[in-house]
Amino acid sequence: MNLGPHADFIVAAYAVTVFVVAALVAWVILDYSTQRRILGDLEVRGVTRRSQRKDDR
Amino acid sequence: MAVIDLANPTRFLTLVNRVLPWLAAATVLLFAFGLARAMNAPDDYQQGATVKIMFLHVPAAWLSMMGWGLMSVAALGTLVWRHPLADVAGKAAAPIGAAFTFICLVTGSLWGRPTWGTYWVWDARLTSVLVLFLLYLGVLALYWTAEDPGRGSRAAAVLTLVGAVNIPIIKFSVDWWNTLHQPASLIRMGGSAVDPTILWPLLIMAGAFTLLFFTLHLAAMRNEILRRRVRSMRIIQAQEVRA
């Protein structure tokens, strides 16, 4: 594939897009594992939400 | 599961956990297909190979506006019906929309240098998209810095609805003013002006980017629901310690 005399601009556009999309994907994955870990810690300590208490009754 | 059941965050989470892996797989497959078609698309007779930037720039531009449209509907849900899931949807869409607007601006600039001879001009289309990006940052600042999340959400919803005025300005800026940016060539009266050998890869890439947007949005909404649960559990924990 020949990208011609402006190959640098094309490669830079794709590189920026890949970087931003990868950052978004990493953000949602890391955020999910962080929230799950904190929720797990709170549940281990016996903290429950009010709606959970209603379910238990 | 009835549609109304999705208004319940717990049921919504169940659905998201079921749908997300399939949506992610469909996104990867469509990107693989779209990129293969885009890389094999012929060069433009005027722009040469730089037309390949269009396969990123145009979908990012569409999603930057779609993201704000989605946030505007969510803002109505927050302000009128005060539905917590609407606020979750708006907050989750803001960073994703901002990221696509950033991609749109940067790829447009990198496309502009070889085709127009400049990275940037203050014409109506480019400036209105820059304003959209700044509005996204403003909404994010309101969500992330407000001490009271409820007040922050309402302020972000108001800014979102005010900023929605900018969406038709972006769309019609190339018709209302003299711009260096070309007028609409895809969605216009009389049909698309783009050759099918370039149009099809573009539509497939637009589909892939749209699936990516919804995959990320659903994942971010799930995270936001969990974050709110963490917050409410911490408040309960603090109340129990005090009592």
B157: pLDDT strictly greater than 90:
yes
Determine how many CB atoms are found less than 10 A away from the CB of residue B101: 25
Q: How far is CA B154 from the centre of its chain?
A: 20
Asked whether the beta carbons of B125 and B174 are under 8 A apart, the reply is: yes
Count of structural domains within chain B: 1
In a domain, B12, yes or no: no
Burial group, residue B239, by CB count within 10 angstroms (0-12, 13-18, 19+): exposed
In A, what residues contact B, Cβ < 8 A? 1-7, 9-10, 12-14, 16-17, 20-21, 23-25, 27-29, 31-32, 35-36, 38-39, 42, 45, 47-51
In a domain, A25, yes or no: yes
B99–A23 CB contact, under 8 Å: yes
In a domain, B88, yes or no: yes
In a domain, A1, yes or no: no
What is the rounded CA–CA span in Å between residue B139 and residue B87?
A: 12
Task: Tell me which residue range forms the domain holding A40.
Answer: 21-57
A6–B114 CB contact, under 8 Å: yes
Which residues face B240 on adjacent strands?
A: none
Question: How far does the CA of residue B108 sit from the closest CA of chain A (Å)?
Answer: 9
A35–B223 CB contact, under 8 Å: yes
In this predicted model, what pLDDT tens digit does every residue of B110-137 receive, in sequence order?
999 999 999 999 999 999 999 999 999 9
pTM of the model: 0.92
Backbone angles phi and psi of B163, in degrees to 5: -70, -20
In a domain, B121, yes or no: yes
In a domain, A4, yes or no: no
In a domain, A5, yes or no: no
Task: Tell me which residue range forms the domain holding B92.
Answer: 49-174+193-238
B47: nearest CA in chain A?
A6
What is the rounded CA–CA span in Å between residue B235 and residue B240?
A: 9
B60: nearest CA in chain A?
A17
In a domain, B22, yes or no: no
* CA-CA-CA-CA torsion sign (B140, B142, B147, B151): negative
Q: For residue B238, what pLDDT is reported? A: 85
In chain B, pLDDT over 90 holds for what percent of residues?
71
